[in-house]
């Protein structure tokens, strides 16, 4: 079903006839939707608890918008390079695919390091997740996204090895397609985090 | 806290009579099984033929075996609850301390929902859905074994405290905070509860994704959506609910464990935490969960009533539409579990009205089944008995539910035994009777012989009578003001003890019914030659699972059937009877069949996740890291394996089919 409506992510040249591709892509989308509901529950939790600071500082006092804006641009750029990686992989251009995936990986690493440095900064100032309900919700929501990024990075690293050793077979192309859907999905979730956690007054 | 064992110390080991008895029976039972298998040299057979199997038929059977074992555990808990409540009045404190009593009713609820009803339903779905849609397998075979083994890991973990010590949660089956927070439940009980549910819930979620894709993508050619058999349709609805509701459970449990393990403040009573948020999260999973259990049972009844009335299901389309409406509405009623929260009249009115509306599609289904029986050639088989018993109990329980759905009434009956009676009527009289009907109906498909009829009918009558004797008093007690989870009540409550004793007597009748069911299986196996079904179609069935032999070959169908109508097998049979000589003369043309290889990866991953869960309960850091890293490495190793399938050559298929033909 997905194949028919989105030829970009699943070029006809690389689609196996067995229907395996169809099933795994649909299954992965269903999984992503469950993940989306998990995030929805975390967002709801955050929105309910964001004013429960128990005398502690509010988000406005804690977060540095320019810092988060840089983080955001890094992640958006990584999504762009991930797109370039997919296009290269679809052309079966191994060298280009590997380099764009490496760039995506490095951008992901820098995003995650910035996030971790922000976390450690907050914790050092005594504003860790144990301080109040607002900070518990903040660390859990943003941390859950960070954990997904970590999984994505692991996935990217494994994919790099796989493409390096085996080239871009239809079987591997299917895995790479799922990786790129996952990575773009994390981008979208981040846009919501940026809006609701950092921009919302 | 030691580095090696975390919070786990010698003092934590079992030292109460019921944990010692539990641990002894578990250890001896496990030892017995190990010795028996070693004695009969069956270890290798068990490992290669069953435990590592990716065949959904075998996984389905294993689900049912585990669920049956857990049913025994849950039933023991039920018996202990009833005994305590019958004894503990006035000066007598009964035989259990309040703490024990609380642990027992918590375990009873969690086990019956997560490990018994869910286990049975996933078992039946695994076995039947691929057969009904004319498929050879599920969409993701590895994911399927992983789901099963995660379920087993959860089932083991919930019983682990018998051996490794600690205690079980004493909070009630949904562990509401702030009671379940560290401040009020400092032991490991709630952690056992969290992690066994988290792990088995993950298994259910993955199973939901798997079956959803299986039904959407793997149907036989020609089987359009409206030609899907009713059980598969209702399973599709149920799995859609699984994938939309279980993530909320995962998050609710995660946040509670963050509170308990890392000192966060989501649901604590101070530091800005909000306990009512947990109640909302858990019930926005919990209510759909009830329908996850109920809707597939509706599907089983639909199959049974249509086959044993020898008539096409009345109003198939309206049944499908009603199932979908129930599916959607079940996401919109969660707040009726806590009308007393104080959300205000408007919120309560909305959820009250939504709750009442669910009665309409449910009634549509009941009328559809009754209309199917109308002017049908009804065969009063024991599967049909379970259906008729269900119509009675479910209508009773449904009306009690509509009553409870009225906010004003609920304020009076909230947390009373009336509520307990209501949901037991739904889960036993609705879901469990459906499971029994399904097992009776599909047993010959699985084993090749029918269940003993007379014993099945005796078992049915014991169950229905036992059920009414044990739960009618609870309705009355609820009206008399008895609240749920009472470990002791005052002697001034005149009439309570008598009703509790009657309820306990009903439990004994139910146990008699369960014993009859075990006897029924034993007798059926002994008399399997007389009850042999050689046709693969003992009931004159209508759907595709009856088109193959009993038990079906590993690939289910040598040639995937073409579907042109609803009740596909009925259609094939009527076509064959009109021109059968022609059909027989054409030798079938077989093709190579691609099947998934067996894999132990599901066991390894679940094993590591089990270690992770156990380590999180006892705060054993190194073990938690080991469990998590181990599971991730297993996934990575597997992702490099591209040879996950093997081919059964056409000649082999022909040989197997010829062998089956001789057997038939």
Closest CA to A201 of A59, A62, A57: A59
Q: Which residues of B touch A49 (CB under 8 A)?
A: 266, 272-274, 277
CA distances to B22, B197, B221, B565 from B253, rounded to whole Å, are 26, 8, 42, 45
Residue B60, in any domain of the structure: no
Average pLDDT over residues B45-71: 95
Please indicate whether, in this complex, the C-beta atoms of A162 and B640 are within 8 angstroms of each other: yes
- Residue B587: band (very low, low, confident or very high) from pLDDT cuts 50, 70, 90: low
Chain A contact present for B221, CB below 8 A? no
Residue B387, in any domain of the structure: yes
Average pLDDT over residues A43-69: 94
pLDDT for B185-208, tens place per residue? Answer: 999 999 999 999 999 999 999 999
Write down the pLDDT at residue A12: 42
Residue B318, in any domain of the structure: yes
- Residue B479: band (very low, low, confident or very high) from pLDDT cuts 50, 70, 90: very high
- Residue A15: band (very low, low, confident or very high) from pLDDT cuts 50, 70, 90: very low
Give the nearest chain B residue to A163 (CA atoms).
B640
Average pLDDT, chain A: 90
Q: Cα(A48)–Cα(A134) distance, rounded to whole angstroms?
A: 9
CB atoms within 10 A of CB B92: 11
Average pLDDT over residues A119-143: 96
Asked whether the predicted pLDDT for residue B627 surpasses 90, the reply is: yes
Average pLDDT over residues B11-36: 80
Q: Cα(B313)–Cα(B368) distance, rounded to whole angstroms?
A: 8
Residue B189, in any domain of the structure: no
Phi, psi of B578 (to 5 degrees): -80, -35
pLDDT for A92-130, tens place per residue? Answer: 999 999 999 999 999 999 999 999 999 999 999 999 999
Chain A contact present for B218, CB below 8 A? yes
Residue B220, in any domain of the structure: no
For residue B95, give how far its alpha carbon lies from the nearest alpha carbon of chain A (Å). 41
What would the DSSP string read from start to end of B496-559? Answer: HHHHHHHHHHHHHHHHHHHHHHHHHHHHHHHTTTTTB--SS-TT---SGGGGS-SSPPTTS-SS
Residue B266, in any domain of the structure: no
Write down the pLDDT at residue B39: 86
Least confident of A117-121, B79-83, B107-111, B161-165: B161-165
pLDDT for B233-290, tens place per residue? Answer: 999 999 999 999 999 999 999 999 999 999 999 999 989 999 999 999 999 999 999 9
Asked whether the predicted pLDDT for residue A4 surpasses 70, the reply is: no
Q: Cα(B97)–Cα(B95) distance, rounded to whole angstroms?
A: 7
Write down the pLDDT at residue A42: 98
Q: Which residues of A touch B213 (CB under 8 A)?
A: 23, 26-27, 30
- Residue A1: band (very low, low, confident or very high) from pLDDT cuts 50, 70, 90: very low
Asked whether the predicted pLDDT for residue B588 surpasses 90, the reply is: no
Write down the pLDDT at residue A16: 34
Asked whether the predicted pLDDT for residue A14 surpasses 60, the reply is: no
The proportion of chain B whose per-residue pLDDT surpasses 90, expressed as a percent, equals: 82
Which residue range forms the structural domain that includes residue B504? 297-537
Domain count, chain B: 1
For residue A175, give how far its alpha carbon lies from the nearest alpha carbon of chain B (Å). 9
Chain A contact present for B643, CB below 8 A? no
Residues for chain B: how many in total? 664
Write down the pLDDT at residue B431: 96
Residue B437 belongs to a domain with what CATH number?
A: 1.20.210.10
Question: Which H or E run includes B593?
Answer: strand B593-596
Average pLDDT over residues A22-46: 95
Average pLDDT over residues B99-108: 94
Asked whether the predicted pLDDT for residue B506 surpasses 70, the reply is: yes
For residue B313, give how far its alpha carbon lies from the nearest alpha carbon of chain A (Å). 30
Average pLDDT, chain B: 92
3-state secondary structure A3-21: HHHCCCCCCHHHCCCCCHH
Residue B181, in any domain of the structure: no
Write down the pLDDT at residue B129: 97
Mutate to test the interface with A, among B220, B264, B284 (most CBs of A within 10 A): B264
Beta strands in B124-277, from DSSP E residues, in sequence order: none
Residue B487, in any domain of the structure: yes
For the stretch B657-662, contacts whose Cβ atoms lie closer than 8 Å and that sit 24 or more positions apart, written own/partner, are B657/B553, B657/B558, B657/B588, B657/B590, B660/B549, B660/B553
Average pLDDT over residues B17-27: 78
Q: What is the ipTM of this complex?
A: 0.93
Write down the pLDDT at residue B17: 74
Average pLDDT over residues B527-554: 91
Write down the pLDDT at residue A17: 40
Asked whether the predicted pLDDT for residue B72 surpasses 70, the reply is: yes
Q: State the virtual CA torsion across A141, A147, A148, A153 in degrees, nearest 10.
A: 150
Question: Which of A23, A42, A53 lies at the smallest CB-CB distance from B272?
Answer: A53
Write down the pLDDT at residue B579: 53
Asked whether the predicted pLDDT for residue A19 surpasses 70, the reply is: no
What would the DSSP string read from start to end of B287-300? Answer: HHHHHHHHHHHHHH
Write down the pLDDT at residue A11: 43
- Residue B41: band (very low, low, confident or very high) from pLDDT cuts 50, 70, 90: confident
Question: Which of B209, B266, B274 lies at the smallest CB-CB distance from A30?
Answer: B209
CA-derived radius of gyration, chain B:
25
């Amino acid at each position: 079903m997905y194949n028919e409506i989105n030829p970009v992510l699943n070029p006809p040249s690389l689609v196996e006839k067995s229907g395996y591709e169809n099933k795994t892509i649909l299954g992965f989308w269903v999984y992503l939707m469950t993940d989306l509901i998990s995030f929805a529950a975390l967002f709801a939790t955050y929105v309910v608890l964001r004013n429960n600071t128990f005398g502690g500082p509010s988000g406005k006092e804690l977060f540095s918008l320019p810092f988060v804006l840089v983080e955001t641009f890094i992640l958006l750029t990584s999504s762009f390079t991930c797109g370039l990686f997919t296009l290269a992989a679809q052309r079966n251009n191994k060298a280009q695919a590997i380099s764009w995936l490496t760039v995506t990986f490095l951008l992901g690493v820098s995003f995650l390091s910035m996030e971790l440095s922000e976390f450690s900064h907050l914790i050092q100032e005594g504003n860790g997740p144990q301080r109040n309900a607002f900070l518990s919700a903040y660390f859990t929501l943003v941390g859950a996204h960070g954990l997904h990024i970590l999984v994505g990075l692991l996935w990217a690293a494994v994919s790099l090895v796989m493409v390096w050793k085996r080239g871009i077979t239809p079987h591997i192309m299917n895995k790479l397609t799922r990786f790129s859907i996952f990575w773009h999905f994390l981008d979208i979730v981040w846009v919501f985090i940026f809006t609701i956690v950092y921009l919302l007054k | 806290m030691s580095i090696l064992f975390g919070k786990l110390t010698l003092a934590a080991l079992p030292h109460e009579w019921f944990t010692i008895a539990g641990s002894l029976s578990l250890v001896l039972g496990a030892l017995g099984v190990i010795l028996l298998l070693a004695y009969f040299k069956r270890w290798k057979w068990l490992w290669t033929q069953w435990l590592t199997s990716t065949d959904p038929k075998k996984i389905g059977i294993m689900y049912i075996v585990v669920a049956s074992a857990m049913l025994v555990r849950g039933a023991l808990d039920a018996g202990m609850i009833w005994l305590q409540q019958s004894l503990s009045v006035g000066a007598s404190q009964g035989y259990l301390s309040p703490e024990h009593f609380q642990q027992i009713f918590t375990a009873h609820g969690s086990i019956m929902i997560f490990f018994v009803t869910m286990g049975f339903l996933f078992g039946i779905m695994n076995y039947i859905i691929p057969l009904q849609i004319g498929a050879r397998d599920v969409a993701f075979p590895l994911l399927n074994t992983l789901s099963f083994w995660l379920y087993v890991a959860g089932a083991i973990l919930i019983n682990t405290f018998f051996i490794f010590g600690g205690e079980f949660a004493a909070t009630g089956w949904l562990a509401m905070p702030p009671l379940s927070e560290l401040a009020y439940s400092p032991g490991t009980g709630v952690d056992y509860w969290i992690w066994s549910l988290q792990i088995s819930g993950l298994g259910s979620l993955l199973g939901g994704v798997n079956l959803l894709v299986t039904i959407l993508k793997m149907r036989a050619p020609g089987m359009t959506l409206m030609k899907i058999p009713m059980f598969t349709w209702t399973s599709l609805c149920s799995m859609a609910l699984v994938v939309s509701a279980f993530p909320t459970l995962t998050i609710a449990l995660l946040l509670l464990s963050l509170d308990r393990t890392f000192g966060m403040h989501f649901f604590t009573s101070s530091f800005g935490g909000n306990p009512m948020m947990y109640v909302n999260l858990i019930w926005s999973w919990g209510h759909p969960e009830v329908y996850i259990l109920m809707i597939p049972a509706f599907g089983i009844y639909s199959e049974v009533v249509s086959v044993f009335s020898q008539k096409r299901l009345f109003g198939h389309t309206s049944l499908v539409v009603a199932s979908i409406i129930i599916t959607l509405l079940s996401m919109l009623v969660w707040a009726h579990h806590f009308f007393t929260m104080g959300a205000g009249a408007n919120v309560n009115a909305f959820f009250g009205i939504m709750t009442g509306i669910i009665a309409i599609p449910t009634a549509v289904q009941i009328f559809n089944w009754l209309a199917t029986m109308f002017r049908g050639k009804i065969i009063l088989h024991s599967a049909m008995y379970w259906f008729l018993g269900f119509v009675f109990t479910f209508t009773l329980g449904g009306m009690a539910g509509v009553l409870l759905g009225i906010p004003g009434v609920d304020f009076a009956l909230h947390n009373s035994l009336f509520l307990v009676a209501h949901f037991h009527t739904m889960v036993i009289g609705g879901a469990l009777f459906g499971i029994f009907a399904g097992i009776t109906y599909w047993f010959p498909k699985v084993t090749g012989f029918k269940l003993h009829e007379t014993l099945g009918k005796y078992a049915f009558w014991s169950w229905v009578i036992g059920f009414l004797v044990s739960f009618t008093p609870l309705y009355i007690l609820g009206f008399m003001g008895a609240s749920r989870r009472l470990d002791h009540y005052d002697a001034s409550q005149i009439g309570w003890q008598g009703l509790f004793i009657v309820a306990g007597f009903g439990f004994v009748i139910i146990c008699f019914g369960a014993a009859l069911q075990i006897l029924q299986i034993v007798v059926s196996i002994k008399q399997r030659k007389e009850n042999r079904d050689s046709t693969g179609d003992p009931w004159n069935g209508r759907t595709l699972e009856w088109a193959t032999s009993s038990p079906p070959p590993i690939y289910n169908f040598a040639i995937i059937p073409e579907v042109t109508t609803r009740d596909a097998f009925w259609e094939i049979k009527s076509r064959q009877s009109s021109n059968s000589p022609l059909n027989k003369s054409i030798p079938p043309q077989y093709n190579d069949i691609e099947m998934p290889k067996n894999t132990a990866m599901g066991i390894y991953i679940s094993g590591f996740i089990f270690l992770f869960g156990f380590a999180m309960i006892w705060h054993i850091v190194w073990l938690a890291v080991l469990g998590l890293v181990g599971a991730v490495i297993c996934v990575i190793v597997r992702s490099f394996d591209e040879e996950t399938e093997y081919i059964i050559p056409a000649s082999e298929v022909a040989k197997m089919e010829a062998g089956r033909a001789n057997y038939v």
